Amino acid sequence: MIRTSNPTVYLDLPPGAGHSALRTALMAMRVVPLAFPKGKDEYVAALHSLADLPAMVAFVDISHTDESQSHTLPQLEALLPATLARQQIFLTRLAGGHVSEGDVRWAKALGFADLLCDLEVQNGKGSLRKAVDAVANVFSLPRISSGELVIYARPMIEVTSVPTPRAVIRSLTGLGAEHVATLLGESLNIVDRTYHLKTYSHCFVGSDAVIWLGEKFKRSRKEALAIGQALLALGLIAHVTGDHPFLDDRLFYHLAVSELADQLHLGLIFDGLRGPRGVPVADRSYLGKTYHRCWIGAEAADLLVKQHGVTRHDAWILLHRLMQFGLIEHVTRSRPLIDGAFFYRFIGFPIKREQS
């Protein structure tokens, strides 16, 4: 492991535009960007060294997707019981997923420096700006100007950029994914809807969203559909039963956006689900196969509605966000979080220190 008194930043980020842009911006600030050691023991030693080396910080991705090999929050919790090291770590979700205000507050309550959804330039005013300013503040360095940031970082983004969901949304709307999802929530007819005698709470129709996106952003129907599909890829839109992609059709979808859910403490939600009065955990069987120590999605939603006085939609959002943090999973890892008769289990380690 390299030890240095010079300002140094460890990067454990997925390859792509955001990684390249941050690396280039750091070098422009004369801050050394280093990749984490690949061996497990060396990686852990590097994380622990942050507490002893004030001239080091780290960016660690915690995207929780099928394709991502990123660390999860429980893994970092287990590796870093010391709060000093956490204060020097900026978490990201560059490989997938979205970030709510509630997510950020919980990450900070756990002692981490911040949680960023991407590293976009946005004319020197986006999340990359926030990241490099934070590094400059940690090391007491001059703040790189917005003009310099664009000059150094944008070419790297243009060279390495691939059509990621966030890039698609930004190119077609000029806005960030979370902002577009919020606008949808404010504009669509979102109500309880019934299909085959089953009611789905707080949902909208896919074709209605396509029409609205096209009119709002002056895009063709095909382009509007691409925006919706990108939002679904990030988890900001979800089919009510998880059985369909986002389609220009009369299918029902949820939006993972809620001011009320943002106000609740995810740590307390998680502890309540796992506590003595939490969701019933038992061995359960389906089609002749037994799944050990699991619980039912609809029962977890029932519990959150009862304990916190939230709507079923807010209950679904809270569970959905806990899944994004890698704290719960479907028993076969084949389903997103669904408010229905599906089996889920808790994974990772108990997280208790965030009670504040």
pTM confidence score: 0.89
Burial of 140 (0-12, 13-18, 19+ CB in 10 A): exposed
Amino acid identity, position 190: I
pLDDT number for residue 2: 41
Please give the Cα distance from 232 to 277 (Å, whole number): 33
Q: Given the structure tokens 């085959």, which residue do they identify?
A: 196
For tokens 């960023």, the residue is 116
Residue 28: CB atoms within 10 A of its CB come to 15
334 and 315 Cβ atoms separated by less than 8 Å: no
**pLDDT band (50, 70, 90) for residue 156:** low
Top CATH class, 8-162:
alpha beta
Architecture of the structural domain at 260-346: Orthogonal Bundle (1.10)
Dihedral (CA of 60, 8, 119, 20) sign: negative
Confirm if 166 and 158 have CB atoms less than 8 A apart.
no
**34 forms bridges with which residues in the sheet?**
10
Average pLDDT, stretch 336-350? Answer: 87
**Angle, alpha carbons 255-257-263 (nearest 5°):** 150
> Comparing C-alpha atoms, which of 166, 173, 185, 177 is closest to residue 259?
185
The Cα 88–Cα 82 span in angstroms is 11
Which pLDDT band, with edges at 50, 70 and 90, does 290 fall under? very high
Calpha distance 289→48 (Å, rounded): 42
Q: What is the DSSP letter of 255?
A: E
> Which H/E stretch holds residue 89?
strand 89-92
* Distance of alpha carbon 152 from alpha carbon 2, whole angstroms: 26
Region 62-90: what's the mean pLDDT?
A: 77
Which is more confident, 143 or 294? 294
Q: What is the pLDDT of residue 41?
A: 87
Q: How far apart are CA 315 and CA 305, in angstroms?
A: 6
The region of weakest confidence among 1-10, 22-31, 279-288 is 1-10
Q: Which residues contact 281 (CB under 8 A, 6 or more apart)?
A: 293, 294, 295, 345, 346
Neighbours of 355 (CB within 10 A): 10
Instruction: Say whether pLDDT at 58 is over 90.
Output: yes
Where would I find the H helices in the chain? 17-28, 40-49, 73-79, 83-86, 101-109, 127-139, 146-160, 165-173, 177-187, 206-217, 221-233, 259-263, 266-274, 297-308, 312-324
Other CB atoms within 10 A of residue 185 CB: 17
Name the percent of the chain lying above pLDDT 70. Answer: 90
pLDDT 10s digits, 40-53? 888 888 888 888 87
Q: Which three-class secondary structure state does DSSP give residue 26?
A: helix
The sign one gets for the Cα dihedral 327, 331, 334, 336 is: negative
Share of the chain residues as helix, strand and coil, in percent rounded to the nearest 5: 45, 15, 40
CA atoms of 49 and 41, how far apart (whole Å)? 12
Structure tokens belonging to residue 197: 């005698």
pLDDT of residue 212: 97
Q: Token pair for residue 58?
A: 């780290």
> Which backbone phi and psi does 155 adopt, to 5 degrees?
-60, -35
Cα 113 to chain centroid, rounded: 16
Check residue 354 and give its pLDDT.
44
Q: Which residue has the higher pLDDT, 106 or 124?
A: 106
- pLDDT value of residue 264: 93
CA–CA separation, 174 and 125 (whole Å): 13
Q: Where are the domains of the chain?
A: 8-162, 167-257, 260-346
Average pLDDT over residues 135-142: 89
pLDDT at 157 over 60: no
Q: Say whether 260-346 and 167-257 share the same fold.
A: yes
Matching residue, tokens 């490989």: 95
Summarize the confidence of residues 129-145 as an average pLDDT. Answer: 89
Of 105-114, 192-201, 209-218, 344-353, which gets the smallest average pLDDT?
344-353
Quick one: pLDDT at residue 11? 94
Domain 167-257 has CATH 2.30.42.10: no
User: At 198, is the pLDDT very low, low, confident or very high (cuts 50, 70, 90)?
Assistant: confident
Q: How many CB atoms lie within 10 A of CB 266?
A: 24
Structure tokens at 226: 């691409």
